[in-house]
Structure 1
């Protein structure tokens, strides 16, 4: 969150909240190459990562799954990170009050910095990579976050630096909250692994008997 706030401070000090040169260059490239081929998936990402579905439904499903597979510490960690990330986004939006780009293809709430969609995606990606430390989870989370970042600028909902700020905020919150519960999550994961091993042994005994 501190890194995201620092980036926001740079934006305010250097450009008084207006777009930086990198923002305008990136946006001009996007507008020049817009097409319906990319607009449809971008609109899908807009729904998936925001609104009631992205902010409430997706996190709730993940938390319920974690509870069902007997990972209560992981569920609590994910809930805390999601809530803190969302609160951080709204706080920074209020503090910086940055105007959104003019060439928007979707309607959005106040405050362009930071991107709530990207912060939400980054929080989810980092949390799941910590809870399930497998390569495919890391790669899938990274890909999802990058696609979300690109879709937000493609739709003109955010400047590039808004999405970077959201990335720093979301990932930062997930990492900071992980520190105090790391031992609990590791113990819970080890217990889950032992349970899987016991189930496999029971199935093998059943098949051989």
Structure 2
């Protein structure tokens, strides 16, 4: 797949994720921000499967993917990219992480959807979308696009699914909240990456044009 086609695919995926997010947001708003039928079904299933051991397991991604955890992980990832002399990729990852947090936190505060009453984690009315899921998805998708390794995609997908399960198992979010976080993360990561690649391609094209220009003749300072 060429760079141009990768960029086009990323834009299509990002736009599709954005549209899906808007539709889900409208459905939730139409229902008065109350849990959807599928939310209630999934919530009851998680309650039925609750055990002390799995609660401890669920807290691992919740803590690692929390504010402090993601700041540490973000700094490490950005530092490694800079060390590998991939400063442009480091900047792209940083922009995506900042953007997804800013967008998600603002929307969650404005929407003000109430979390499940029996939440074992946060209880403030900032349930939609799930910030943990959005940030995890953004980092995974961005690393997948930058590193282009199948192992990154596979391990990343497992991490995102674990995060989505964790947030609903701890009753911190409804199922639609974590799906919204997933869509937000995909949209932000793909669109930020596509913009960064577009800027990089234009700079490379200008550099090639400048290199291909013939050298201007040097005027002689000696009079004929």
* 2:24 counterpart residue number: 7
What's the CA shift string for 1:146-180, capped at 9, x where partnerless? 00000000000000000000000011100001112
> If the length of structure 1 is used for normalisation, what is the TM-score?
0.84
CA drift of 1:83 comes to 0.5
User: Deviation digits for residues 84-108 of structure 1, max 9, x if unmatched?
Assistant: 1001111211231100001111235
Contact map agreement 1:27 1:153 (CA 8 A) in 2: yes
> Per residue, is there more helix in 1 or in 2?
1
Q: Which 5+ residue runs of structure 2 have no aligned equivalent? A: 1-17, 205-224
Establish whether residue 61 from structure 1 lines up as the match of residue 55 from structure 2.
Answer: no
Indicate the residue corresponding to 2:157 in structure 1: 142
Structure 1: segments with no counterpart, 5+ residues:
189-209
Residues 1:25 and 2:41 are matched in the alignment: yes
Please tell me the root mean square deviation across aligned C-alpha atoms, in Å.
1.8
Query: How big is each residue's C-alpha offset from its partner over 1:182-208, in whole Å with a ceiling of 9 and x where there is no partner?
Result: 2639x99xxxxxxxxxxxxxxxxxxxx
* Normalised TM-score (structure 2): 0.78
The residue that corresponds to 1:97 in the other structure is: 112
Distance 1:108 1:79, change over 3 A: farther
**Which secondary structure does the structure 2 equivalent of 1:17 belong to?**
coil
The one of 95, 103, 117 aligned to 1:80? 95
Deviates more, 1:159-168 or 1:36-45: 36-45
Aligned to 2:15: none
In the alignment, the residues of structure 2 paired with residue 6 and residue 86 of structure 1 have an alpha-carbon distance, to the nearest angstrom, of: 21
Q: How many residues align?
A: 185
Q: Deviations over 1:47-92 (max 9, x none)?
A: 10012222x1111111111100100110010001001100111121
Alignment of 1:1-209 (within 5 A): 1-13=18-30, 15-54=31-70, 56-182=71-197, 184=200
Greater gyration radius: 2
